[in-house]
Structure formats: structure tokens, C-alpha cells
Structure 1
């Protein structure tokens, strides 16, 4: 029995598969190396982090960079980042799910035009609308507040587009059967539609969290005080005017990457399923 398994494995192990496996391993190492370099650099002194030739592995690891990092209000920066990222993630997933379902399964005048506007908005750079957006938020008194950082991101066009494309794969007969059984619209969406949209919601949650967590440009424009800074903004302030402690910056970058990795691992299954099903069913 064991010999049959070995022979079957040898038959499957062809030269193209071996080459493809080697290429995938090399590509994986290529993309993982920058993260490894940041993490290893976080445990190196400034003099070691910038030496040439580089020290590929910290021979004398130190926690000095982390000690210096937490002399700054890092806890406040992380709190702001979590509040903004999680609030945007929850709001965008809810709003996009509702809008995507309506655009996919409801017939009303102007539906095609509205969806076309969402698609066109995806091609619009954020920098184009930043000046009028900032002026509007300033008139509302929302600059340097959580409202000003969270609310403008809720109507993310990509989220509506993704949920609409995925909602189109839901059988219309299922919705009709629920209506015949007397289900209200809210109950229909909460008990039938939303569970079926779970893979797409997981993918959108990852996209939203990462986008919000790394939204350095908008957060830089909308914040005015150190207490409202997010972690990416706070890490950027660690750069010196004349000299830069790269070990300290790498420690901040390593700390900022931990939540993104955790969110991806939490939603990995739903993310993979959502991307795959979207690619197959279109």
C-alpha cells in the first residue's frame, strides 16, 4: 500500500510541477523578505541597522528600539487606529451589503445609472476630492475628530461594487420563496441574504481594515493634534530632522503590521472563498 502511494506521488511529480513549486517558493521568499528585514531591524541598534554589508540576522539583539518607541504615546496612537479602522470596517460592510443587495436584486428607475456612478467613482483619485471634502468637514466642525476621519469613508465605491457583484449570484427563487413564506424585507436580508454574503463580507472586511489602517494621507490632512494621530502618523513623526533612527522606525513599522496580519488570519477563510467565488461566478 505504501509503495503504491509512493509510485503515485512520483507520477504526479513532473518537471513542470517541480519548476512551478520552486518558482512559488522563490516568490514567497521575495515577498516575505521585506517583512523579515523590518522585524529583524527592530531588534538592531542604529549603528548595526545601517551597516554595509548588512547584518542579515541580529547577532546582538536589543530591546532598546522598543523602549524608545513606547516613550511616545504609542498606546493612544494604536487606540485611534483601532477605533477608526474597526468603525470604518463595520460601517462599510453594513452599508455596502445593503447597497449591493439593492442594486443586484431590486428593480427601480435609475438603477443602472447609480451603479455606473459607483464604478466611475472607483477611478477617481482620493486627492481630487480632498480639498472640497476638507472644506465641508471644516464647515461641520469635524476636522481633528473621529467623525471627520470615519464618516467620509463609509460610502466606499469598491465595497458597493464588490457586494453587488457577489449578490448577483444569489438565486432569485430563494428570495421569492422567503417572500411567499411571509418574510419581511429586514428579516429576509438578515437571515438569508447576509449569511450568503458572508464570504464577500470577509473579503471586504480585510480590504477595508488594511486600507483604513494605512490611510496615511487622509489622516494627515484631517488631524491636527498629537492625541488624534493614528499609528502610521505617529511612526512617521519619529523621523529626525537631521538624523533618523532606522531601528526605531522599524520597531514602529513592525508594531503597525501586527493588527493587519491578525485581521487577515481571522478572515482568511472567508477572504479566500469570497475571491474564488467571485472569480468563478463573476
Structure 2
């Protein structure tokens, strides 16, 4: 009898452990998805109801009035979305191109001072983002005088040290023998990069593209600093215009937030295959 109970206990233990893990993961999933659910549900509420600060998990009536209110509220609503697309798209493209070029140079090209320069770049990653905002703002406004322009929104994020580090680590894992063989065949460095490195680095480039686009799209503080007209605001900054001293048009604000989330979902699901490969690369050997 004792042996039977012990054997039964061994059979039950894995099921209990798996059930506990499933419950924990379910809790984390609910906590992660609830803000998205609340944003979408709130966006279908009535603008007047939300303006009265009547927040519920389910609106009294479901309508698209808040979406119409969002676009009718200001003539700049479409411009906000366009600005965000221009800025986030430009920052994403420049980061993918420049970071991959720098990563290739640091990992496969030998030149004097390579390690010192790369160490300086890594040390720059230790500086908090907030510390650089004041000198960067002075540089943009007082030195170059390009505030309230696309240049002011794009140039500070044209390439990041993190993306250079990410590209360097991935490209460094590509066998050097492939590059040496290409050199023997007469390929230049640019041909090696475009015909060998880029095709083999699609996974890391997709990861860089998604993370950079999402980060630039969601940035609020820097566009808020360097834009002083509604015409040049991005969607994240423009949403603050729905908040007033006495009330907040909560449902239209959530409608704008839901609309602003669409490009990120489209980009992620378009590059989902490469993104998942980039996340799991190196996890399995053999």
C-alpha cells in the first residue's frame, strides 16, 4: 500500500506542477492583455460618457462616435499619424542600415583602434537616456536651430549603440571562411555586405526593425520637447490635447491610442517569422 501511494504521488506531482505553472502564466497573460482590452473597449464608449470620467470595464453603449470625434476634434489628427510614420519609419531604416554596417565593420574588418572605439560605444550605453536630453535639446535648439522640424525628431535616434552591439554580436557569429572565400572570388567589402551578410542577417535585422520602430513610435518626451506646434506633433504627443483642466475626453483618447497601435501590430505580424527566429537563434545547437 505504501509503495502504491508513493507511486501515485509521483504521477500526480508533475500534473500539479504543470497546473501551477499554467495558472501563473495565465495570470501574467491576463495582466499583459488587460490594458489592451481596456483601451479597445474604452474606445467604443460614448465621448460624453468618458468626458464625465465614468470609467467602466464595459461601456453602456458601443459606438464608433469616439473614433469620429478623434478625427473631427482637430484637423491635425491625420498629420499626427503621418508625422509618427515618417519619424518612426526613418529612424527604423537608418538604424537597420547604419547599425548593420557598423556591426559588420566591428566584427569582420580589422582596423586600428577597433576595440577601443567599440568599448567607448559600450560605455555610452551606461549613460541614462534622461541625462542626455538637456545637452541634446540645447544642441538642437540653440546650435543648429532645427526645432519643430523632422530633422529634430529623427537625427537624435538615427542610430543607437544597442543596435550596433546587437548587429556586431550576430554578424560575428557568421563564419569568417565565407567572407574569405568571397574575397578570393574578387568581391569588394560592399558586395560582401550586400550579398552575404545581409541575407544571412535577416533575423537580427527584423528584430532591430521591430524594436526600433516600436520604440520610436511610442516616444513621447523628446517629440514633446522639440515640437511647439500641433502641426509637427506625433500621435503620442497629440493625444495629450484631449486632456483639459476640467475634463478628459477619455474615449476619443483611447480611440486614438487604438489607431496608433495598428502600425505596430502590422509590422510585428509582417516580420513575426524573422523576429521569432532572431529571439531563438543560438538557443539550440547541433
**TM-score, length-scaled by structure 1:** 0.89
Structure-to-structure mapping, 1:202-213, within 5 angstroms:
202-213=206-217
The CA deviation at 1:81 is: 0.3
Equivalent residue, structure 1, for 2:11: none
Indicate yes or no: 2:175 matched with 1:171: yes
Give the Cα separation in 1 of the matches to 2:270 and 2:25.
24
The CA deviation at 1:62 is: 1.9
The CA deviation at 1:141 is: 2.6
Secondary structure of 1:165's aligned partner: helix
Equivalent residue, structure 1, for 2:57: 56
Answer whether contact 2:53 2:248 (CA < 8 A) is retained.
Answer: no
Secondary structure of 2:244's aligned partner: coil
Structure-to-structure mapping, 1:149-228, within 5 angstroms:
149-228=153-232
Answer whether contact 1:84 1:150 (CA < 8 A) is retained.
Answer: yes
Answer whether contact 1:166 1:278 (CA < 8 A) is retained.
Answer: no
RMSD of aligned Cα (Å): 2.1
Indicate yes or no: 2:135 matched with 1:132: yes
Stretch deviating more after TM superposition (210-219 or 23-32): 23-32
Q: 1:272 aligns with which of 273, 276, 285?
A: 276
Structure-to-structure mapping, 1:5-44, within 5 angstroms:
14-44=15-45
Q: Find runs of 4+ consecutive structure 1 residues off by over 4 angstroms.
A: 278-281
Answer whether contact 1:199 1:273 (CA < 8 A) is retained.
Answer: yes
**1:111-133: CA deviation from partner (whole Å, max 9, x where unpaired):** 11211122121221222222222
Give the Cα separation in 2 of the matches to 1:27 and 1:168.
35
Equivalent residue, structure 2, for 1:77: 80
The CA deviation at 1:195 is: 0.9
**TM-score, length-scaled by structure 2:** 0.87
**Equivalent pairs, count:** 269
The CA deviation at 1:59 is: 4.4
Equivalent residue, structure 2, for 1:231: 235
Equivalent residue, structure 2, for 1:108: 111
Give the Cα separation in 2 of the matches to 1:230 and 1:56.
28
Secondary structure of 1:237's aligned partner: helix
